[in-house]
Amino acid sequence: MHRQNTLFLGHENVILKEKKEKPYRLTPFIITFCEDTLTSIDIQNFIEMGLRIIRFKMTHVTRNDKLKLITMLNNAVKLCCEKYEVSNWPIAISIDIPNACIRTGFLKDEIKEPQIYLSEQSIVELTSEVQYWNQCDEHRVFIDDPYTLKLVKPGTEVSLCFGEIVMFCTEVISPKTVMCKVERGGYLGNVRFVCVRGVIHKRPPLTKKDVELLQFAKEFENSDGVILAREFLAHEIVDKYKMTAIQLIVSAKCKKGGKPLYISGNILEETLQNGLLANTDIADITNIVLQGCGFVLRAYTDASYVLTAMRILDSICKSVESISPKDDFWRMSMEFKTPVNAAEACILSCALLVKQSESQVVILPTVTGRTAIQLAHIAPEAIILTLSSNPIVARKLQLYRGIIPIIYSSFNSFLFMKINNLYGSTCLNLVFRTKL
């Protein structure tokens, strides 16, 4: 046993000595823009720290708030373009669909406090009767999903505020009303999320309002990213201890299919709320990076906490990506389908050349972005600089790990020379003459 431990420690020291931390980060992450404390300068700092994708919370936000956020984003992008002397700066946008979630109603007008406390062992009525949508108190809570509530049976677990309040159904009064006993007390405010464990959602997936929001997105038909919302799923699956296994299965399927996966929920929550770092966050982030997934940073209280969280993610990602398993490349290259045209053959040969030459950067002109997506799938260790004149394609490519899109209005040979001077002999130029 002692000999085995000595060998293991020696092998570990060799790995640490040979580790080369990359000067760049491949893993992308999404930041939520929903707070009224943000300014254009804050957003500019986020962009300069590597922000590529933002998430707008479309629920319970007024039209003026939406316009204000978009204006601040445009101003921040303009400042970055002027500072770094570029014509455009692509930022991808993610939009929430409100009908996918169950929420509580509003507190009574007589309650002057922003929150009420539901004490342990107390009995609370959950109802979907519309007349109680603004009459929530310590004894009755409205939820906006009558389809799911009628499936609740005695013994069913119901969580509010992502598990801050946990209660169990004790009696079914009617298809729209159930009685629950609070097992874990906590504070409840207006329009908080509700999770019901082990119950399949019967709510219609899209309402008329949701379709209108999808029209606002304009690029919904081209959306190909997946977000695993752990903050909901962990409180809805029958076996709560299978969350890790589910995450591994989903990440494996997305990696095999070449789809970007983002993990949401319990990502640096202590840092975003209080500026502190929890020990469990480091292990969680490390596992997510090793799985090839991105991150979603949700609610925060101060813009400075977001910068702190971004620095933590950036540092961990650079360290973990440099020691990622090397066998993934050969496995994915063997799974790659036999090339049927010159473009696919060129992609596979480029990936092999990147591996053999240990190139760090690939410069790839593209029209639709499909070439870059396929190359990033089988060559995940290299960073891919794509050149495109289409801003929509550039924003779409921001979703993928290891791809940095660059927009140009006309072909500029000076741009290639500048990139070559920056990365030196480690840069591999790849020019496609196809229409992919």
183-200 burial, b at 16+ Cβ within 10 Å, e below that, comes to eebbebeeebbbbbbebe
Closest CA to 86 of 387, 364, 426, 370: 387
Q: Is 287 helix (H, G, I), strand (E, B) or coil?
A: helix
The pTM score is 0.72
CATH of domain 102-196: 2.40.33.10
Q: Are 323 and 15 in contact (CB under 8 A)?
A: yes
Structure tokens at 195: 């999770």
Q: DSSP states of 245-283 as a string?
A: HHHHHHHHHHHHHT--EEEESSSSHHHHHHS---HHHHH
Q: Are 96 and 137 in contact (CB under 8 A)?
A: no
CATH class of the domain comprising 327-429 = alpha beta
Residues 414 and 426: their CA atoms lie apart, in Å, by 18
- 22-97+206-321, CATH topology level: TIM Barrel (3.20.20)
Q: Are 430 and 362 in contact (CB under 8 A)?
A: yes
- Which residue type, as a one-letter code, is found at position 45? N
Closest CA to 383 of 27, 20, 19: 27
Q: What is the mean pLDDT of the chain?
A: 79
Closest CA to 324 of 51, 13, 22, 30: 22
Chain centre to alpha carbon of residue 372: 21
User: Residue holding tokens 């939520």?
Assistant: 32
| Model pLDDT for residues 129-180, shown as the tens digit of each residue | 999 999 999 999 999 888 888 899 999 999 998 888 999 999 999 999 999 9
Most confident by average pLDDT, 259-268, 329-338, 372-381: 259-268
> Kindly report the CA angle at 60 between 54 and 64, in degrees rounded to 5?
75
Map out the domains of the chain as residue ranges.
22-97+206-321, 102-196, 327-429
Is the pLDDT score of 222 beyond 60? no
Q: Tell me the three-class secondary structure of 300-315, residue by residue.
A: CCCHHHHHHHHHHHHH
| Model pLDDT for residues 260-277, shown as the tens digit of each residue | 999 998 899 888 888 888
* 200 pLDDT tier (thresholds 50, 70, 90): confident
Q: Is 6 helix (H, G, I), strand (E, B) or coil?
A: helix
User: Residue holding tokens 């804050």?
Assistant: 42
